[in-house]
Structure 1
Amino acid sequence: MKKKKVNLRDVAPKEHHHHHDDGHNHNTSKEASNLKPYLPAIFSFVLLITGITIDYFEAFSFFRGWVRVVWYSVAYIPVGLPVIKEGWKSIVRGDFFTEFLLMSIATLGAFAIKEYPEGVAVMLFYSVGELFQASAVKRAKGNIKTLLDARPDTAMVLRNGDFVSAHPETVTIGEKIQVRIGEKIPLDGILLSKKASLNTAAITGESKPDTIAKGEKVYAGSINLNEVIEIETIKEFKDSSITRILDMVQNATARKSKTELFIRKFARVYTPIVVFLAIGLTFLPYFFVDEYVFRDWLYRALIFLVISCPCALVISIPLGYFGGLGAASRNGILFKGASFLDAMTKVNTVVMDKTGTVTKGVFKIKEVVNKSDFKEAEFMQYLMAMEEQSTHPIAKAILEYKTDGADFEATDVSEVAGKGLKGSVNGKQVLVGNKGLIASFGIEVPKETDTIVESIVMVAIDGKFAGYVTIADELKEDAHQAIKQIREAGIQRLIMLSGDKNSITQQITSELGIDWAKGGLLPEDKLNEIEQLKKLPDTTVAFMGDGINDAPVLASSDVGIAMGGLGSDVAIESADVIIQTDQPSKIARAVQIGRSTRNIVWQNIALAFGIKAIVLILGAGGLATMWEAVFADVGVALLAILNAIRLQRTKWN
């Protein structure tokens, strides 16, 4: 069955243009447009039922001969014509054996042997099945529609000294845009205002407000909460993070999974076989049967055609995957394609990065140890004056320390490569950095610092060791739960590979109960480790990382899972699955959804084959009529659709 390409933009009416309509009008027009596709089917159904009723009671003497033929033909045309047209189009394209052709032959054949009501009924049920399928697909895409609505359609751009409204597509890189309170940011950019409070739910799935400082990145789709802000754009509309995610989701269904592709190929081979068998069933009995009645055998062959139409199969498999993709996106998990839903079910080894994956990637001061003659606040003033000059994330953490009094100024600050900073504050020489820096100036470092696992920043003032500050990264709230759930999902091996110090990596590993870990790795080291793992027999590796430096590893693992979705474009490009909410515990959820999808798809395959086989045997033996054939086809398709929709209804624990 040819899948109709549904453009998301058609599925997702841009409702936010109608702010000023009165609600009533809006709803009625919406209901009318929802009903519209069903009108031809309803018209045919009314005529068919009326015709069958008149036939049954033989109420009107005039309802015979040509009147009856015309009546049923009029009932047939609204549902039959589009199908015959589709069949013709695919023949012109050189694709003969489609289900449109099967349905056309079967129903026109029924007319030829004067079984008019059955011809109409087969086509009617087929059309209704198609409509249901379309609406189920539309539902699955409905989850994605909410994402689409996150895309703003106007931008206030500074042109000739004034902010004017323009479509985001017309804004070029480096232009200045203004975003008012409650509006969505139209393009990715750098914040020019002092600070901004943004709701990034459309992007990360987390609805807590994010505070962004001047010079930091802001992403399209975020909502501005507190004050009017100005942004300098760094990307065009088509490259903005939200557009990329949308394109990715739109194309997810195009990346077919193996089962789905198999069924496509299967239908290609299966349909011609069925057509030739039907022809055989019509004419061959002439040579073997005593009383050959052409009409009876033709009728049987037509039934055979209707039953063997692989609609149910071809509908139910993509629908199963649609359901899975929809259920996942509702859970903040974006699969780039149905094939990854499949791959997720085979994963037995999960490798994770540390920073930004199981930890927040935000450094905080853990402990201040002051060994100088100054008070702690003053000791910190010296340290902070130096760190003002550094861009390192650890410097940022130190600068969050609150002190009273005027800030000190550092002068003559220079960097000692790989070791730290030296400079002078208030006329005193200050060194800030690692043990190597302090020791290189001949200053003794206390032994107790050797056993410290966390990152440590040491300070020497005027040639004397003055103290140190330890800095640590916090675990994400759901890190423990994530590991537990991944184990419960039946994943045997959990490994951590991190670029951070080995001691810190090992500490977190033992805290979380991960099987083994390696720290101090460069991206290419991680890549080597993954390649080694993939060589092990029966190993399917999922790698979860937060993106920036993990791109090569995400791309080379069997399933690459990126955290947070939008921190890094590279992650979006290289990952197969994106966890929008940044929660590692979603991995277990992704595995569950993958497994449920696989189960539903196989249930549908079994259901379709089972029922069809029974009716085929009955049909060939002359025991089944067109009506049973219709049930075998449409009934199975409907059951399969309902089964697939179940996925979207499931409440995952």
Structure 2
Amino acid sequence: MSNCKTCCSTEEHTHQHHNHSNHEEHDHNHGFGTKGLIFSLIIFSLGMILQYLIQPQWFIQNEWVRLLWFLIAYIPVAKPVWQEALELVAKKDFFNEFSLMGIATLGAFFIQEYPEGVAVMLFYTVGEMFQDRAVNKAKSDIKALLDVRPKSAVVKRNDRYIKVNPQEVQIGETIQVKVGEKVPLDGILLSEKGSFNTAALTGESKPAVIRQDEMVLAGMLNLENVIEIQTTKWFEDSSIAKILQLVQEASSRKAKTELFIRKFAKVYTPIVFFLALALVLLPWLLVDEYNFKEWLYRGLIFLVVSCPCALVISVPLGYFGGIGAASRHGILFKGSNFLEQMAAVNTVVMDKTGTLTKGVFKVQEVNAVSMHPNEFLDVVSAIESQSTHPIAKAIVAHHPSPIEIQEVTEISGKGLAGNYKGKQLLVGNGKLLHQFQITYPESIDNIVESIVLVAVDGQYAGYITVADELKDDAIEAITYLKQVGVHETIMLSGDKDSITQNVAKHLGVTKAFGGLLPEGKVDQMQQIKKDPQKVVAFVGDGINDAPVLALSDVGIAMGGLGSDAAIETADVVIQTDQPSKMATAIQIGRATRQIVLQNITLALVVKVLVLVLGALGLSNMWEAVIADVGVALLAILNAVRIQRMSFKS
């Protein structure tokens, strides 16, 4: 049956929603059959034609014929409702939407309003089927991730390839992936290069080219050549396994509004039942000419209108739709509570390296003073090849050296020393040259970028500047954040302050703090959060960002290249590694909140209006059915609207 009944019933019953197999079995056993609905609709329509248009004597004047006719139309659609109601009553949940519908329709038959009794069940069933479709539509984007789980892996063992379960592959083994197959585990590409569709992980359909020794993630689709990969993680620790776990856990974390609506429905349903009962019985004491049939009819209208279905389906459906829309944009929310919190964010704090920048250093400028630039690069690259520092790797990648430097030693925190043609070679920062009392132009200290100074035989020989590149959409990210109403953007970085301030100025970030250790970032976040008016989101990608992610109101991790610690600590994961998705996440959160509030307002206003009119005898059962089913359908259509919205990204 639909998600609506799951929400309306007891807590034990509600938990079936989170048990996939139970829920499917539940649907199969008690779901509304399309054939039964069509049969009921045909019999009901013929009955309406006979009663109001043709009006033959054998039908109009024979009460038993009319009763039997409409009972035949009633039973196929009423059976699953009564079955569900009795199951819940057995669990001591006496007041639920099924018992409300059942009592209302039995009452309609009791006062010989047979068409109206059938109409309540019929239109309610139609509404339920629309709800099922809406829920399935909302789930489709998220459920699609379940289809990317690799079913097998081809692993190399004893010089031949065999097919095994991905969970049986050990770390360090070589696996083969053919064209059109999904990569089953995370690993390092052994082949020269490969082209991959990464949509399952990032939401981006544009093929990604990955070269030898670079990381390939499970769930990527191999597009070109047969490739080989050396695994670096167990299957359960792979990227796709973590995504699936996030998706499956998302439904268990409910927004405050969603939790409130569920609690509200539990209290609201018994109240309206007793109000309907009072509406039938109290007039007997207060009205001179009491007509039981008339007041029973009003009470039945009250029951039909008061069904909380529109609220309890449209609110979770709205959040589910928001999570689905976000997943299409490569954004994973770990629960609707974080989606709701994201809507309130007005301050965004960001890490620099790996979040706004690519985290990949590149040589910007080579300034050789005492030797030819090519020789200068040969010498510096040769000695840097013996270092694992990211800046050293950038220089080696820029200019691989054909020579070798002897007697290389590392001077901690300062650089490297070696022997070049019998002369002392120093490559490092200003502290290194100061240690050996070598002077260099003072203007060099004003250079913003990371700088590598070089000295040969006690004389300054030149420098190389290395800088991290901004991500392609970094400027747009800050612009979009301002456009969606974020009041303040703050950058926290462990990089030197001059670089941090330069990047912040270029991007248009409100404030920036550089030279921060992990505890320094935590201190800054605590200062920012002292203002109670600020709802703070932090965006980061590194292990050192995990404490700040946990401290923020909403923690956002860059999931494509981010560390496992950051992804596990965060509330939201941006799979595309695009900072512009920060604004998209806020937009989706706000659009979801707006739709949920619209649905709550619509349901309450219309229901209260028709309840009052029904109690005063100014509306009939048909209007009650339209009010109940109509409002539910409008709320559902409004909830699924978020899946068709366009957001900046």
Normalising by structure 1, report the TM-score: 0.90
Residue deviations 1:463-505, cap 9 Å, x none?
A: 3322110001111222222212211222211111101111100
CA-CA distance at 1:579 after TM superposition = 2.0
- How many residue pairs were aligned? 628
CA contact under 8 A between 2:32 and 2:129: conserved in structure 1? no
Query: Is structure 2 residue 512 aligned with structure 1 residue 517?
Result: yes
Percent of aligned positions that are identical = 60
The answer for the alignment partner of 1:44 in structure 2 is 40
The answer for the alignment partner of 2:6 in structure 1 is 2
CA contact under 8 A between 1:48 and 1:75: conserved in structure 2? yes
Range with bigger deviation, 602-611 or 573-582: 573-582
CA-CA distance at 1:229 after TM superposition = 2.5
The answer for the alignment partner of 1:391 in structure 2 is 388
Q: 1:104 aligns with which of 102, 105, 115?
A: 102
Paired with 1:39 and 1:568, the residues of 2 have a C-alpha distance of 52
CA contact under 8 A between 1:439 and 1:445: conserved in structure 2? no
The answer for the alignment partner of 2:521 in structure 1 is 526
Q: How does 1:405-484 map to 2 (within 5 A)?
A: 407-484=402-479
Please, what is the CA RMSD of the aligned residues?
A: 2.5
Range with bigger deviation, 521-530 or 189-198: 189-198
Q: One-letter code of the match for 1:456?
A: I
Query: Is structure 2 residue 498 aligned with structure 1 residue 503?
Result: yes
CA contact under 8 A between 1:153 and 1:168: conserved in structure 2? yes
Structure 1 residue runs without a partner (length 5+): 14-34
Residue deviations 1:63-84, cap 9 Å, x none?
A: 8444433332232222212122
Paired with 2:238 and 2:169, the residues of 1 have a C-alpha distance of 12
The answer for the alignment partner of 1:32 in structure 2 is none
Query: Is structure 2 residue 77 aligned with structure 1 residue 71?
Result: no
Range with bigger deviation, 531-540 or 226-235: 226-235
CA contact under 8 A between 1:69 and 1:116: conserved in structure 2? yes
The answer for the alignment partner of 2:351 in structure 1 is 353
Q: How does 1:608-619 map to 2 (within 5 A)?
A: 608-619=603-614
Pick closer, same or farther for the CA change 1:122–1:237 going to 2, 3 Å: farther
CA contact under 8 A between 1:414 and 1:421: conserved in structure 2? yes
Paired with 2:168 and 2:111, the residues of 1 have a C-alpha distance of 62
Query: Is structure 2 residue 105 aligned with structure 1 residue 84?
Result: no
The answer for the alignment partner of 1:19 in structure 2 is none
Please give the secondary structure, in 2, of the residue aligned with 1:295.
helix
Paired with 1:8 and 1:448, the residues of 2 have a C-alpha distance of 66
Q: One-letter code of the match for 1:387?
A: E
Paired with 1:600 and 1:559, the residues of 2 have a C-alpha distance of 21
Please give the secondary structure, in 2, of the residue aligned with 1:78.
helix
Paired with 1:568 and 1:60, the residues of 2 have a C-alpha distance of 79
Query: Is structure 2 residue 219 aligned with structure 1 residue 221?
Result: yes
Pick closer, same or farther for the CA change 1:115–1:76 going to 2, 3 Å: same
Range with bigger deviation, 553-562 or 478-487: 478-487
Please give the secondary structure, in 1, of the residue aligned with 2:324.
helix
Pick closer, same or farther for the CA change 1:395–1:8 going to 2, 3 Å: farther
CA contact under 8 A between 1:8 and 1:250: conserved in structure 2? no
CA contact under 8 A between 1:204 and 1:566: conserved in structure 2? no
CA contact under 8 A between 2:201 and 2:330: conserved in structure 1? no
The answer for the alignment partner of 1:377 in structure 2 is 374
Paired with 1:392 and 1:232, the residues of 2 have a C-alpha distance of 24
The answer for the alignment partner of 1:331 in structure 2 is 329
Normalising by structure 2, report the TM-score: 0.91
Query: Is structure 2 residue 56 aligned with structure 1 residue 59?
Result: yes
Residue deviations 1:496-552, cap 9 Å, x none?
A: 110111110011112222222110111221112112211213111111112432111
Paired with 1:553 and 1:128, the residues of 2 have a C-alpha distance of 49
Q: One-letter code of the match for 1:384?
A: S
Paired with 1:423 and 1:199, the residues of 2 have a C-alpha distance of 45
Paired with 2:306 and 2:164, the residues of 1 have a C-alpha distance of 55
Paired with 2:153 and 2:466, the residues of 1 have a C-alpha distance of 41
CA contact under 8 A between 1:241 and 1:569: conserved in structure 2? no
Paired with 2:152 and 2:17, the residues of 1 have a C-alpha distance of 25
Q: One-letter code of the match for 2:553?
A: D
Q: How does 1:168-317 map to 2 (within 5 A)?
A: 168-193=166-191, 195-317=193-315
Paired with 2:412 and 2:498, the residues of 1 have a C-alpha distance of 22
Pick closer, same or farther for the CA change 1:637–1:480 going to 2, 3 Å: same
Pick closer, same or farther for the CA change 1:473–1:309 going to 2, 3 Å: same
Q: One-letter code of the match for 2:55?
A: E
Paired with 1:186 and 1:375, the residues of 2 have a C-alpha distance of 49
Paired with 2:353 and 2:605, the residues of 1 have a C-alpha distance of 51
Paired with 2:482 and 2:387, the residues of 1 have a C-alpha distance of 41
Paired with 1:278 and 1:157, the residues of 2 have a C-alpha distance of 68
Please give the secondary structure, in 1, of the residue aligned with 2:538.
strand
CA contact under 8 A between 1:408 and 1:425: conserved in structure 2? no
Pick closer, same or farther for the CA change 1:400–1:207 going to 2, 3 Å: farther
Structure 2 residue runs without a partner (length 5+): 8-13, 25-30
Paired with 1:237 and 1:61, the residues of 2 have a C-alpha distance of 72
